[in-house]
């Protein structure tokens, strides 16, 4: 069994080097790295050459129009592995991450995909997923847990069958997030078996935004929230799920006296409302 790691990258340099060096250190080298470069310069070449000189199988691809989902789909079109993963350009793997992931697939032939653990997120939220199949019903209630794209390890056959990521979602698009949740919802509704494996660990910086950057954070939050609103409409989620998602971001922090996050929550609600209405009016599922 072989893995294809698709790295969609834009604007970062040294962080990419950290990821590549973590891949050089992997105890299991049964993987290829597909770098989908959305930069207009050659900032990544020295790290790509460094990885190749260390024996990594690296394919360097270019994408002119920035799109996270589009970059991942381009990588998928060139992938040759049995399993596909999507490390960010500012994350890194522990030395046994690939080994543990490939072993987990080998031990369970019925598994179509694995959700690993984002270490810093788990520590910040005191959350550790249980190693059991994901529930379509729970995910449609937005109660399925955390599944960042950096922790997705999916069989290529399933990705191809479902057409990869919906390029209307994700960084660089109007619906500024939600591509991984959309994929999981589609996968589960198709009958795929996805399981959580907290022992397969991925690292990524996890930080909170300072008060001095509240307005900037609110603007970015609004863009990301449009993706969630689009998901509400695309997947025809229950009205109570939608209403809860529009009200809770404001009400929950207010009950705690947290005015700053209540302000941020207003932008979450605004973005979700925009995404929901725009999808219902302009998009088709």
Q: How far is CA 158 from the centre of its chain?
A: 16
Considering its fold, how many domains does the chain have in total? Answer: 2
Say yes or no: 118 and 243 in one domain.
Answer: no
**Which one of 204, 219, 253 terminates a domain?**
204
Find residue 13's DSSP bridge partners: none
Query: At what angle are helices 259-282 and 239-255 packed, to 10 degrees?
Result: 160
Say yes or no: 90 and 121 in one domain.
Answer: yes
The pLDDT of residue 208 is: 54
Say yes or no: 130 and 179 in one domain.
Answer: yes
The pLDDT of residue 105 is: 96
CA distances from 255 to 142, 251, 258, 262 (A): 21, 6, 8, 9
Domain extent for 117: 3-204
Which residue in 162, 283, 183, 172 sits closest to 233, CA to CA? Answer: 283
- Burial degree of 282 (CB within 10 A; 0-12, 13-18, 19+): exposed
**Which one of 180, 204, 228 terminates a domain?**
204
Quote the CA–CA distance of 179 and 48 in Å, as a whole number: 27
Say yes or no: 150 and 17 in one domain.
Answer: yes
The pLDDT of residue 127 is: 62
Say yes or no: 217 and 189 in one domain.
Answer: no
Q: What is the pLDDT along the chain (285 residues), one digit of tens a residue?
A: 999 999 999 999 999 999 999 999 999 999 999 999 999 999 999 999 999 999 999 999 999 988 999 999 999 999 999 999 999 999 999 999 999 999 999 999 899 999 999 988 877 776 666 667 899 999 999 988 888 899 999 999 999 999 999 999 998 899 999 999 999 999 999 999 999 999 999 999 876 555 557 778 888 999 999 999 999 999 999 999 999 999 999 999 999 999 999 999 999 999 999 999 999 999 976
First-to-last C-alpha distance (Å) of the chain: 34
Find residue 175's DSSP bridge partners: 169
């Amino acid at each position: 069994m072989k893995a294809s790691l698709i790295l969609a990258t834009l604007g970062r340099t040294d962080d990419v080097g950290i990821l590549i060096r973590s891949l050089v250190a992997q105890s299991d080298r049964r993987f290829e790295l597909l770098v989908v470069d959305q930069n207009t310069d050659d900032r990544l070449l020295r790290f790509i050459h460094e990885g190749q000189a260390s024996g990594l199988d690296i394919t360097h691809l270019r994408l002119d129009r920035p799109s996270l989902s589009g970059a991942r789909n381009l990588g998928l079109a060139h992938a040759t592995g049995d399993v596909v993963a999507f490390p960010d350009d500012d994350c890194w793997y522990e030395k046994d991450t690939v080994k543990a992931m490939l072993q987990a697939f080998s031990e369970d032939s019925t598994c179509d995909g694995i959700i690993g653990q984002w270490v810093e997120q788990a520590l910040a939220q005191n959350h550790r997923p249980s190693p059991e199949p994901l529930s379509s019903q729970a995910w449609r209630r937005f109660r399925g847990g955390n599944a960042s794209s950096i922790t997705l390890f999916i069989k290529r056959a399933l990705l191809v069958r479902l057409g990869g990521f919906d390029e209307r979602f994700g960084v660089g698009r109007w619906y500024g997030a939600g591509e991984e949740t959309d994929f999981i919802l589609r996968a589960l509704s198709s009958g795929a078996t996805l399981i959580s494996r907290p022992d397969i660990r991925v690292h990524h910086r996890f930080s909170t935004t300072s008060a001095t950057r509240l307005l900037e954070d609110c603007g970015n939050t609004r863009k990301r929230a449009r993706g969630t609103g689009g998901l509400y409409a695309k997947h025809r989620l229950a009205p109570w799920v939608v209403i809860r998602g529009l009200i809770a971001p404001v009400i929950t922090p207010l009950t705690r006296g947290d005015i700053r996050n209540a302000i941020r929550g207003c932008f979450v609600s605004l973005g979700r409302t925009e995404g929901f209405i725009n999808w219902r009016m302009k998009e088709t599922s």
